[in-house]
Structure 1
Amino acid sequence: MKKFILIALVALVGFTAEAQQAKISFTNDTVDYGNIAKGSDGVRVFEFTNTGDAPLIISDVKSSCGCTVPKKPDGPIAPGASSSIQVKYDTNRVGPIRKTVTVYSNASEPIVALKIKGEVMSNDTSVLEKTK
């Protein structure tokens, strides 16, 4: 009888733990820089909301190269609360931007890939000119 009660208690705790889960919902999973001038502000933001019913903890945010520096929010994000992940691209690198920022969290989908795209134009090319 004691074993049955112990098994029932463990099963109940297991189901209760799964019932509450954080869920991360991004406003957009892609940031388009468009055509930007060399040396311009490379900071952009991915906004998100915890649409789950447990605190969301972002454990890490990594970029696909050293030219992109992401900054994760500090501390847990409460259910229903919003926050953001800041990304800074080195706009002194002329050419196309195609990078991935990977978010690791305790959400129901623990790994999310975000994209940044655009093109950094050289100083001798106008941002208004159409590229070839």
Structure 2
Amino acid sequence: MNYNFMYKVLLISFIFLFACNDLAKKVDDGSTKTVKSEQIKPSLSSNLVMNDKTSESNKNKFGMPEFSFEKELHDFGSLVDGEKVSFSFKFTNSGDAPLIISSAKGSCGCTVPNWPKDPIAPGEAGSIDVTFNSSGRSGKQNKAITLTANTNPSRKVINITSEVITN
């Protein structure tokens, strides 16, 4: 084996090992230190709690539209296999700008949503009509409808459930 090559690898390893030595000296000795909240300087952060743009208290500070549903889960109860049922999820735009729903998708082909294509003005109401086809299904069913809109966050999920009984 080439000793010159091994010598270079060993030399590079020692350089990296000792180059990291300064970081090892800065390791905390295990003691805890109390820091007052005033000592923490705000900066750009991905922390969703500390970030003004995503905190709950400032959720609609920027004139955004906002969904306010009467209910976000509907239980159809017991259904016979092959039965089609529908429900209208009623909502209000409780935000400060027109609400535009760009898409609504069911979690499978048995769940078909229909949504308003026109903008919903602030304070106005609308509905998401969901049809569930129980054909070929059995047992407990939990289906999600994902709405994509110009809200913050941009996605909202509403759900339907049922118990499908086969003959």
Whole-angstrom distance in 1 between the partners of 2:121 and 2:163: 36
Normalising by structure 1, we get a TM-score of 0.73
1:72 aligns with 2:111: no
Q: Which residue of 2 aligns with 1:19?
A: 62
| 1:29 CA drift (Å) | 1.1
Coordinate RMSD, CA, aligned: 1.5
Q: Which residue of 1 aligns with 2:157?
A: 113
Question: Greater relative contact order (Cα 8 A, min sep 6): structure 1 or 2?
Answer: 1
Question: Considering only CA atoms, is the larger Rg found in Structure 1 or Structure 2?
Answer: 2
Whole-angstrom distance in 2 between the partners of 1:41 and 1:112: 24
Percent identity between the aligned chains? 39
Q: Which residue of 2 aligns with 1:101?
A: 145
1:33 aligns with 2:72: no
The runs of 4+ residues in structure 1 deviating greater than 6 Å are none
Equivalent residue of 1:70, what SS?
Answer: strand
On the 8 A contact 1:36/1:120 being kept in 2, the answer is yes
Equivalent residue of 1:73, what SS?
Answer: coil
Matched residue pairs, number?
106
| 1:46 CA drift (Å) | 1.1
Give unpaired runs (5+ residues) of structure 2: 1-60
| 1:40 CA drift (Å) | 3.0
